[in-house]
Structure 1
């Protein structure tokens, strides 16, 4: 085994030994790359060595100069600040069955060190005005702020004041308050529940005043010559929202996003301690404002603004491991652009293009949906990886999703913690035989509330097992069209905390084409699915070739549903336990087999009958933070 050491207090001109470590991950990566590419070298990088020596970093090598075994980059305690994404390519792969390993020093022992890989910037130079902290931050742009590790919310209002009407370009109001907004172009409107499963965001362009008399656009302005507040929304986002969000339900037709449920990021909203505003009214001279909690002081409180959007990206890399690291402090700026964030479902959002009308109930209910969607990115991306391992890492304080696995084969995510994320935790697409196991996912989807905890789509042989997903705003585990997915012995608690029409475990679309390569949902425990419209264990929208067996569902609005549109095909519900019958049990549709399931409304009897299943579900190695 060959070792390199990295310490925030090191120096990249040093040889990377324990006594003289590198300062940066990039330098360690380059040293490992040179070693693997040219094993005859007797120097690390450009640091001259005695040619007679047979060690790199004082680690033995064979006489021919070939590195023996794995290459391990040991990261010492502290915050390793990235000023650009850390990228690995095929050239950074392990060779001859060996691995290149990035790990916390002491990994797996009682002496494991706390290593944070951060894309953030510490904010200093505060001045205090009327109890508010102010810092000049240049051209810094961010949507999140972390104060002593706590996520600070952007200052906000609950909706718009006064009588408000939506127009084709924005809104008109009889209330003068928006005219006092310090910089309307900083303000963002949030639309929770445009569809029950959707939360969108659109920016404001301008706020002006128009003199009017009588009634205009449905607003009574009072006396002749009254003033109307005119809010023009940023384009093309608002125009796209008018095109995208249209529906009919129970005789009511809805057009556009409607009125905002929340209005964020203006100086005049800064009244709640612990919140912040980023004032960008002077380009290149942005000012961060923070209203502190009572116990916080500028000299003792650490405030970090995430800067990078990507912390780590591997592309075409094989035989690489990441162990015991904390990935933290990243943002995602795309929702703040003029296009807005026009969420549709899950991690998908609209970026223009064709829109289709989908009938939910023939002649009675329909929605318009995007033909194609973009996907919320992750701050750590493993693309086309082979035998890449992510073990016992933590993903936290991120403005998008935590980890994305896309393409590749035999990639695993084990024993990791995901928390304090603006979007979902783990996204897996187009991969072969990926494994997502023993991960603890909680308090995710804090900004993009439609995001699932774990999302799987287009994969073959994906296994999602023994994870614990709790306190998330929508679905816990989602599988779109895929082949051979196994969702086994997971525990979800407190899913569907904000939006509706989802579940603890949700599947949609074909999951294979035979019993041999179909999906299996077995041994999962789903508790406390919260919104008043949900299906805790939910096979939806043409799900096919699915076996749902030996699961436990309790304390949900609806345990499951057998009758959906498009209908289920070759779906088997067998040996499950719940505290209420699924919808559709009285008239099981032709595409569903429903047998040997048990309904026990009594909570104690249900717990006793399912003790073994509940004991085996959830984390293999429970932990707390």
Structure 2
């Protein structure tokens, strides 16, 4: 027997009973009503949210010890009114606030006070505005120092708001992009000293310490690689505000920060909606390993407008790989293959947080939601979570990754659309699995992302991952040394318990030095079966360091033979794969019965079970 539903509407009142005629006004009041009833549930309990934007003044936190779990095998469901029908209402849970009080200046720039907010994202009529940027680096003859840089140019002295400026280093390692904040800019007898913010600058100098051998310039000369050399991108000074549609946060007066925005043609301060994030965690859910948060469903909702201020706290974002960044822990040296040099590898990393996070949950379902305008990652599932379903969601306009699952079991990630993520932290993958058990990633579409599409990292606890029938295209649009699918480290103890990468279509892996499907860094017990890979640097790689062990490439279709395909390492099997012409790959694939089946099944499934074109 179903529980009587609870209704919420922007025009409601939290003193009302939560009926359709007299709804509550806030999600928090609905949550209190739910908590009063979960102990005696006799059926699913549904919270119906009427159309509108619900501005959250604090994190919407679901906790097992506070009565947010469904009991008796039942679910608590939060959803828009008329969910699943043609009349489904649009509901936004927002962690932002509108910026008002704009003053247009004589130079066309609007200004508005925002108090002590550290604004990194600005959303103007639903569009993410970029931060004003200088794209030619530090001028003059530049030398890196222990504390920052010196230059014989005096131009940096004219950059307004020195302590708000941020240096960006694309490709600080080929697969990484670092961000380091400036602490101050001062004049010297012979030019300018730029002092970088600590402790991130010291950490960066230790982490990005490597040697590359064999690289040559176009004229054949040896190229010296200098970590943290003159940054090609510098952001967030009023001096850079020349491009319409960009903004700057001026932090010159502590606690009285000012936004500067140069509008696009046609925008007007009284008609243009400008939203900044306030919350860092929009929604969170948690229990314990013994008593997880269980039986919760969130569906049909939009999660929007949340940020992350980690760079301000540490002085930088030192990306290493995937969703991981460095916070000053241990480091080790790793030798690159064939005498190419060495690279420094962190032994300890931290994950970029997500704006929607769940830990120690069971029977959690996130279905048909929209994650957008977010300043960290989109969704994170972690810490001993089990039986989680992430289905039919859209992830877009996100600073970091789309979906991250770590240290969890029996999670299904299916039929999601992930695109235009990694807007600030460009090493972020669309979907990342770390040390998962029996996870399934299937029928998702991923496109236009700056680095890897799907990342699967293994280890002692990893087993049973299936990456099946995904459509992945236009990945690696910014950084190098990655792929549409990236798999590393041991994935189990045998082929039976290892990872299976099957039936995926991967095309247009964009930047140089990439592999459409990349098994790397000691990947073991991986079956790569019946995938279609084309328009990339190289379809797959057979020799890496540490070497691949127990990896089989069987029955795949690609547009070029991988290097060493006829003499693979003893620990790698390459058999039954087909090379199709690169200039007519999709037609040739469709003409092969097995290839046609791959094309027909890869990608998101619609309500009728059909798929959009996968070529």
- Tell me, yes or no, if the aligned pair for 2:213 and 2:339 is still in contact at 8 Å: no
Q: What residue in structure 2 maps to residue 576 of structure 1? A: 556
Task: Work out which of the two has the higher radius of gyration on C-alpha atoms and give 1 or 2.
Answer: 1
SS at match of 1:605: helix
SS at match of 1:434: strand
Q: What residue in structure 1 maps to residue 129 of structure 2? A: 152
- Tell me, yes or no, if the aligned pair for 1:347 and 1:376 is still in contact at 8 Å: yes
- Tell me, yes or no, if the aligned pair for 1:278 and 1:287 is still in contact at 8 Å: yes
Match of 1:257 among 228, 241, 246: 228
Q: What residue in structure 2 maps to residue 299 of structure 1? A: 270
- Tell me, yes or no, if the aligned pair for 2:329 and 2:349 is still in contact at 8 Å: no
Q: What residue in structure 2 maps to residue 501 of structure 1? A: 481
Match of 1:87 among 27, 41, 61: 61
- Tell me, yes or no, if the aligned pair for 1:4 and 1:73 is still in contact at 8 Å: yes
Q: What residue in structure 2 maps to residue 489 of structure 1? A: 469
- Tell me, yes or no, if the aligned pair for 2:243 and 2:262 is still in contact at 8 Å: yes
SS at match of 2:603: coil
Match of 2:431 among 425, 437, 454: 454
- Tell me, yes or no, if the aligned pair for 2:552 and 2:573 is still in contact at 8 Å: yes
Q: What residue in structure 2 maps to residue 138 of structure 1? A: 115
- Tell me, yes or no, if the aligned pair for 2:378 and 2:400 is still in contact at 8 Å: yes
Q: TM-score, normalised by structure 2?
A: 0.93
Q: What residue in structure 2 maps to residue 224 of structure 1? A: none
Match of 1:102 among 62, 73, 78: 78
Q: What residue in structure 2 maps to residue 25 of structure 1? A: 27
SS at match of 2:183: strand
* Alignment of 1:127 onto 2:103: yes
- Tell me, yes or no, if the aligned pair for 2:337 and 2:544 is still in contact at 8 Å: no
Match of 2:398 among 394, 403, 421: 421
Q: Distance in 2 between matches of 1:10 and 1:583?
A: 65
Q: What residue in structure 1 maps to residue 348 of structure 2? A: 372
1:583 CA displacement: 2.2
1:364 CA displacement: 3.7
Match of 2:183 among 205, 225, 240: 205
Q: Distance in 1 between matches of 2:26 and 2:399?
A: 27
SS at match of 1:585: coil
1:237 CA displacement: 1.1
341-350 or 464-473, which moves further after superposition? 341-350
Q: What residue in structure 2 maps to residue 231 of structure 1? A: 194
- The aligned length equals 581
SS at match of 2:160: coil
- Tell me, yes or no, if the aligned pair for 1:203 and 1:337 is still in contact at 8 Å: no
Q: What residue in structure 2 maps to residue 56 of structure 1? A: none
SS at match of 1:380: strand
List aligned pairs for 1:163-178, cutoff 5 A: 163-178=141-156
- Tell me, yes or no, if the aligned pair for 2:440 and 2:467 is still in contact at 8 Å: yes
Q: Distance in 2 between matches of 1:119 and 1:546?
A: 41
- Tell me, yes or no, if the aligned pair for 1:244 and 1:256 is still in contact at 8 Å: no
* Alignment of 1:8 onto 2:10: yes
- Tell me, yes or no, if the aligned pair for 2:112 and 2:258 is still in contact at 8 Å: yes
Q: TM-score, normalised by structure 1?
A: 0.91
Match of 1:78 among 28, 52, 67: 52
Match of 1:606 among 589, 592, 599: 589
173-182 or 545-554, which moves further after superposition? 173-182
Q: Distance in 2 between matches of 1:279 and 1:506?
A: 40
List aligned pairs for 1:165-564, cutoff 5 A: 165-212=143-190, 228-250=191-213, 254=225, 256-316=227-287, 317-361=293-337, 363-406=339-382, 407-481=384-458, 482-564=462-544
- Tell me, yes or no, if the aligned pair for 1:241 and 1:256 is still in contact at 8 Å: no
1:254 CA displacement: 4.3
Q: Distance in 2 between matches of 1:382 and 1:308?
A: 16
SS at match of 2:523: strand
Q: Distance in 1 between matches of 2:274 and 2:580?
A: 50
Q: Distance in 1 between matches of 2:484 and 2:213?
A: 27
Q: What residue in structure 1 maps to residue 218 of structure 2? A: none
- Tell me, yes or no, if the aligned pair for 1:189 and 1:264 is still in contact at 8 Å: yes
1:164 CA displacement: 1.7
Q: Distance in 1 between matches of 2:591 and 2:307?
A: 45
RMSD: 1.4
Q: What residue in structure 2 maps to residue 59 of structure 1? A: none
- Tell me, yes or no, if the aligned pair for 2:42 and 2:72 is still in contact at 8 Å: no
SS at match of 1:26: helix
List aligned pairs for 1:54-73, cutoff 5 A: 67-73=41-47
SS at match of 1:337: helix
1:253 CA displacement: 6.1
SS at match of 2:321: coil
- Tell me, yes or no, if the aligned pair for 1:137 and 1:288 is still in contact at 8 Å: yes
Q: Distance in 2 between matches of 1:435 and 1:3?
A: 28
Structure 2 residue runs of 5 or longer lacking an equivalent are 215-222, 288-292
CA separation of 1:120/1:360 partners in 2, compared to 1, >3 Å: closer, same or farther? Answer: same
**Deviations, residues 275-309 of structure 1 (Å, cap 9, x unaligned):** 01111111111111110000111111100001111
SS at match of 2:515: coil
1:163 CA displacement: 2.6
**Deviations, residues 504-540 of structure 1 (Å, cap 9, x unaligned):** 0110000000122110000000000001110111111
Q: What residue in structure 2 maps to residue 114 of structure 1? A: 90
Structure 1 residue runs of 5 or longer lacking an equivalent are 40-66, 213-227
SS at match of 1:185: helix
1:161 CA displacement: 2.4
- Tell me, yes or no, if the aligned pair for 1:245 and 1:255 is still in contact at 8 Å: no
Q: Distance in 1 between matches of 2:541 and 2:424?
A: 29
Q: Distance in 1 between matches of 2:540 and 2:424?
A: 28
Q: Distance in 2 between matches of 1:258 and 1:371?
A: 24
Q: Distance in 1 between matches of 2:340 and 2:170?
A: 24
CA separation of 1:85/1:383 partners in 2, compared to 1, >3 Å: closer, same or farther? Answer: same
